[in-house]
Amino acid sequence: MEIFFTQLTNGLAVGGIYALIALGYTMVYGVLKLINFAHGDLFTIGTYLGLSLLTSLAITDKLGPVAGVILLAVMVMCLVGIVGILLDRVAYKPLRTSPRLSAVVSALGASIVFSNAIMLVYGPSTKVYPHDILTTRVLDIFGLPVPVMRLVILLTSIVLMIALYGFIQKTKIGTAIRAAAIDQDAARLMGINVDRVIMLVFFIGPALGGAAGLMVGLYYGQIKFTMGWIYGLKAFTAAILGGIGNIPGAMVGGLLLGVIESLGAAYISLAWKDAIAFVVLILILIVRPTGLLGERVAEKI
Amino acid sequence: MKKILFLMITAVFIFSGLTAGPAMAADTVKIGLMCPITGAWASEGQDMKQIVELLAGQVNDQGGLLGKKVEIVVGDDGGDPRTAALAAQRLATQDVVAVIGTYGSSVTEASQNIYAATNTIQIANGSTAVRLTEKGLKYFFRTCPRDDEQGRVAVKTIMEKGFKNIAILHDNTTYAKGLADEAHGLLKKEAVNIVFFDAITPGEQDYTTILTKLKSKNPDGVFFTGYYPEAGMMLRQKKEMGWDVPFIGGDATNNPDLVNIAGKESAAGFMFLSPPVPQDLPSKEAAEFLAAYREKYGTTPGSIWAVLAGDGFRVIAKAIAATGSTKNDKIADYLHNDLEAYPGLTGTISFNDKGDRVGDVYRVYKVDEAGKFVLQN
């Protein structure tokens, strides 16, 4: 039983990160019906920018770990958000009226450009975050050893997700985003600046990806320019699992994928971990083709 | 009229380009290098390129081979079998005398048949999977040892440590699985229990699930046959879990980045098998080479595998000089039969009939408290 709960917390911590990245896929898909395959690489950019800022500005030495990491997170999110907007301008906006497949190909191209650009700037070898910033304390919850940082990661992911959900549901701008997601032309007729909405979506999605990147860098320590691909794939799966285009769906999908992977590896087979996760995905899609929480019958790629 | 003129001029340019190509090729001795310039193993590949280009430069400074300059033609295999097949096709059609490379066994395997079909000599530098040289390919060689050799040394080390319950972990790549199977087979004959045998997914960050599962099996020691990024992450997360089981790694964990990833504290005590690291290379040639490398690039080579690519270049150059020919048959015959105890950068080199390097290369290393790799025995 102890092992079960340990594995469950292992899965939830990974799932929180998947969920955070999945939000970026889902937001862009919701508004543009485009799978932004470069999203995983925006996540990688977040990890690398975090490392650069951390080592060059020494924020955590000056402000202490908590305030330092928060400031760092804000800076990384803004920068990655701006990269996201630039990505949209360069790779997607010129293709807005072309067939959807062109934009997908453009996204794959952007992904390759990003990961190789990171390699050229930072070099191909593994980079390592400083080890001593975060606490390595282990809490004892009902006899279960739970590292504090795993809890922090999970909570941060959930807080960011709830904040986003509130923003989309409760604010005027959020309403505009939802309107643009339903029907862009109608939204335009209602006086919504759809281009501005798309720009905002390309800021928020990558910014959350960047935040996830920073968390992965800070916690796991090891970053590599190729890491975005595997995270991107998992998060994409999570988004589909929860119902792409749906924000609570991305959260549920991400957490669920993490837990399925972890328990599948623990109780069935390690080597078949990914296969198990994808079998579950297929089963869910057979029963609910729009994903767990997906409502609209969306056209999928 | 203008159009026809334009077409004619274009045609003339294309033709002159076509004829000039081979004519220019004859002025140099072309040697191919297939290595992962991009992809997950890019740091290995870029080291390989730097080393081979350094050595080629040295040969050219001394007048080249057969009175011609050596030209290195680089093909990027991306550390990926599919990309490797494309790179191999490109290299094989560029008139190269031989191809050096590559690093990963599954990547080399994807290119083997392409080189075999064009009778191109291939000298792999990091591909240790046994079956690569069991196919009877006449033109395939490797400067690295084989996994069965490594498996024997691994089992010897494990038995010396006195482990009774052993866990074996690989990552489903050709190399890691081959080594794990080899060790598994040998350990079965000994009086020990294999309590765990499974594969991880390489390229991930979080291995706590695997470690939690491993821990529940309570092994005395873990033999991990995969690569250094995963080994580093597992050492780090193992420490975080407060679990102090000894880990032994295969030769793919031999990379200074292992300590960077794991942190000195977590890496201390980790043992791995490997051919000697560049700094421990015994020969005079090695000392000169390391000095030249440091002078040109300002650091020492990261791992032994790239240096083995350098040895691949050196034996080719030696064979071309000794036979006075760039014919594949003559060079292959020379490498198989006449190259005896050639002083390479990584010790003496000769090849057997299969194209495998002859001799005892593996050593046991241990990471000390300062994160240095210390040669044991």
Residue B120 and residue B15 in one domain? yes
**Looking at the complex, does the CB of residue B309 fall below 8 Å from at least one CB of chain A?**
no
- CA torsion B209→A39→A164→A60, rounded to 10°? 70
Say how many C-beta atoms besides its own lie within 10 A of residue B221's C-beta. Answer: 20
Question: Scanning every residue of chain B, which has its alpha carbon at the shortest distance from the alpha carbon of A8?
Answer: B209
Average pLDDT over chain A, rounded to an integer: 87
Asked if B263 and A221 come within 8 Å (Cβ–Cβ), the reply is yes
d(CA B318, CA B334) in angstroms, rounded, equals 10
Say how many C-beta atoms besides its own lie within 10 A of residue B188's C-beta. Answer: 9
Asked if A262 and B213 come within 8 Å (Cβ–Cβ), the reply is no
Asked if A10 and B242 come within 8 Å (Cβ–Cβ), the reply is no
Q: What is the pLDDT of residue B197?
A: 92
More confident call, A267 vs B361? A267
Q: What is the pLDDT of residue B9?
A: 57
Q: What is the pLDDT of residue B20?
A: 44
d(CA B10, CA B1) in angstroms, rounded, equals 14
Q: What is the pLDDT of residue A300?
A: 38
Say how many C-beta atoms besides its own lie within 10 A of residue A175's C-beta. Answer: 14
d(CA B366, CA B377) in angstroms, rounded, equals 11
Nearest CB among A124, A145, A261 relative to B43 is that of: A124
d(CA A243, CA A256) in angstroms, rounded, equals 12
d(CA B48, CA B144) in angstroms, rounded, equals 14
Residue B222 and residue B314 in one domain? no
Closest CA to A76 of A228, A207, A188: A207
H-helix or E-strand spanning residue A146: strand A144-147
Query: Structure tokens of A232?
Result: 């991107």
**Looking at the complex, does the CB of residue B39 fall below 8 Å from at least one CB of chain A?**
yes
In a domain, B371, yes or no: no
Residue B141 and residue B16 in one domain? yes
* Residue count of chain A: 301
In a domain, B375, yes or no: no
Residue B121 and residue B185 in one domain? no
Residue B251 and residue B163 in one domain? yes
* Residue at which a domain ends, from B243, B274, B305: B274
Query: Structure tokens of B204?
Result: 């991930």
Residue B159 and residue B205 in one domain? yes
H-helix or E-strand spanning residue B61: helix B42-61
In a domain, A247, yes or no: no
Tens digit of each residue's pLDDT (9 = 90 or more) over A1-40: 778 888 888 899 889 999 999 998 998 988 888 889 999 9
Cis peptide before B300 (omega within 30 of 0): no
In a domain, B38, yes or no: yes
Residue B139 and residue B154 in one domain? no
pTM: 0.76
State yes or no: pLDDT of A295 exceeds 70. Answer: no
d(CA B207, CA B226) in angstroms, rounded, equals 13
Is residue A253 within 8 A of residue A292, CB to CB? The reply is yes
Is residue B102 within 8 A of residue B111, CB to CB? The reply is yes
Question: Scanning every residue of chain A, which has its alpha carbon at the shortest distance from the alpha carbon of B216?
Answer: A3
Asked if A271 and B42 come within 8 Å (Cβ–Cβ), the reply is no
Tens digit of each residue's pLDDT (9 = 90 or more) over A104-125: 999 999 999 999 999 999 988 7
Question: Scanning every residue of chain B, which has its alpha carbon at the shortest distance from the alpha carbon of A129?
Answer: B261
Residue B287 and residue B138 in one domain? yes
Residue B164 and residue B106 in one domain? no
In a domain, A103, yes or no: yes
Tens digit of each residue's pLDDT (9 = 90 or more) over A229-256: 889 999 999 999 998 888 888 989 999 9
H-helix or E-strand spanning residue B60: helix B42-61
Question: Scanning every residue of chain B, which has its alpha carbon at the shortest distance from the alpha carbon of A11?
Answer: B209
Residue B29 CB-half CA count within 13 A: 26
d(CA B197, CA B222) in angstroms, rounded, equals 10
Nearest CB among B46, B205, B208 relative to A216 is that of: B205
In a domain, A12, yes or no: no
Interface-testing mutation among A14, A112, A226, with chain B (most B C-beta atoms within 10 A):
A226
**Structural domain of B156:** 148-274
Residue B140 and residue B13 in one domain? yes
Is residue A171 within 8 A of residue A127, CB to CB? The reply is no
Question: Scanning every residue of chain A, which has its alpha carbon at the shortest distance from the alpha carbon of B264?
Answer: A131
**Looking at the complex, does the CB of residue B126 fall below 8 Å from at least one CB of chain A?**
no
In chain B, where do the E strands start and end? Answer: 28-35, 69-76, 98-100, 121-124, 140-142, 165-170, 193-199, 221-224, 247-249, 271-274, 342-344, 347-349, 363-367, 373-376
In a domain, B3, yes or no: no
Asked if A271 and B260 come within 8 Å (Cβ–Cβ), the reply is no
The tens-digit pLDDT sequence of chain B (377 residues) is 566 656 555 555 555 544 444 444 468 999 999 999 988 888 889 999 999 999 999 999 998 899 899 999 999 999 899 999 999 999 999 989 999 988 988 999 999 999 999 999 999 998 988 889 999 899 999 999 888 888 888 998 899 888 999 999 999 888 899 899 989 999 988 888 999 998 988 888 889 888 988 998 999 999 999 998 899 999 988 988 888 899 999 988 988 888 888 888 889 999 999 888 777 877 788 889 999 999 999 988 878 889 999 999 999 999 999 999 999 999 999 999 999 889 888 888 999 999 999 877 788 999 999 888 888 86
* Residue at which a domain ends, from B225, B255, B274: B274
> Beta B342-344 vs B271-274: how paired, if at all?
unpaired
d(CA A241, CA A214) in angstroms, rounded, equals 25
- For chain B, what is the domain count? 2
Residue B321 and residue B341 in one domain? yes
Asked if B43 and A128 come within 8 Å (Cβ–Cβ), the reply is no
Q: What is the pLDDT of residue B8?
A: 57
Asked if B263 and A131 come within 8 Å (Cβ–Cβ), the reply is yes
DSSP labels for B200-218? --TT-S--HHHHHHHHHH-
d(CA B233, CA B200) in angstroms, rounded, equals 12
Is residue B282 within 8 A of residue B348, CB to CB? The reply is no
Place of tokens 């191999």: B88
Query: Structure tokens of B230?
Result: 């995963």
String of b and e for A115-137 (b: at least 16 CB within 10 Å)?
bbebbeebebbbbbbeeebbeee
Asked if A145 and B213 come within 8 Å (Cβ–Cβ), the reply is no
d(CA B312, CA B33) in angstroms, rounded, equals 10
State yes or no: pLDDT of A297 exceeds 60. Answer: no
In a domain, A282, yes or no: no
A33 conformational bin, left if phi > 0, alpha if psi -120 to 50, beta if neither: left
- For chain A, what is the domain count? 1
In a domain, B163, yes or no: yes
DSSP code of residue B341: S
Asked if A226 and B40 come within 8 Å (Cβ–Cβ), the reply is yes
Is residue A250 within 8 A of residue A85, CB to CB? The reply is no
**CATH no. for residue B311?**
3.40.50.2300
d(CA B183, CA B362) in angstroms, rounded, equals 15
In a domain, B96, yes or no: yes
Residue B133 and residue B160 in one domain? no
Chain A to chain B, count of Cβ pairs less than 8 Å apart? Answer: 88
Nearest CB among A124, A222, A230 relative to B233 is that of: A222
Helix, strand, coil tally for chain A in percent (to 5): 75, 5, 20
Mean pLDDT lowest among A62-66, A139-143, A259-263, B170-174:
A139-143
